Amino acid sequence: MRLVGLDLVLPKWLNWATTPLGTLLVNFFVWIVIALIVYYILIRITWRVARRSRLRIDDLIIGILRNALGTGTVLAFPGGMIGAFLAGIFYRYSRNIYGAALGEIIGTGLLAALVSAWIVAPAFMKKTMALGSLIIAFSGSTLLGSILGLVGLKLLGRAGFVESK
Task: Inform me whether the pLDDT recorded for 149 exceeds 80.
Answer: yes
How wide is the angle at C-alpha 123 spanned by C-alphas 121 and 129, nearest 5°? 20
In a domain, 163, yes or no: no
* Residue range(s) defining the domain that contains residue 128: 2-158
For CA atoms 130, 113, 44, 73, the dihedral sign is negative
In a domain, 106, yes or no: yes
Average pLDDT value over all residues in the chain: 78
CA-wise closest residue to 115 among 66, 57, 76: 76
Other beta carbons within 10 angstroms of residue 90's beta carbon come to 22
**Number of structural domains the chain divides into:** 1
In a domain, 165, yes or no: no
> What's the one-letter identity of residue 118?
W
CA distances from 121 to 37, 69, 73, 143 (A): 18, 19, 10, 22
Cα 162 from chain centroid (whole Å): 25
pLDDT for the residue numbered 56: 56
Q: Tens of pLDDT along 41-50?
A: 766 665 565 5
Give the confidence band of 81 by pLDDT, cuts at 50, 70, 90.
Answer: confident
Which residues of the chain form beta strands (DSSP E)?
Answer: 2-3, 6-7
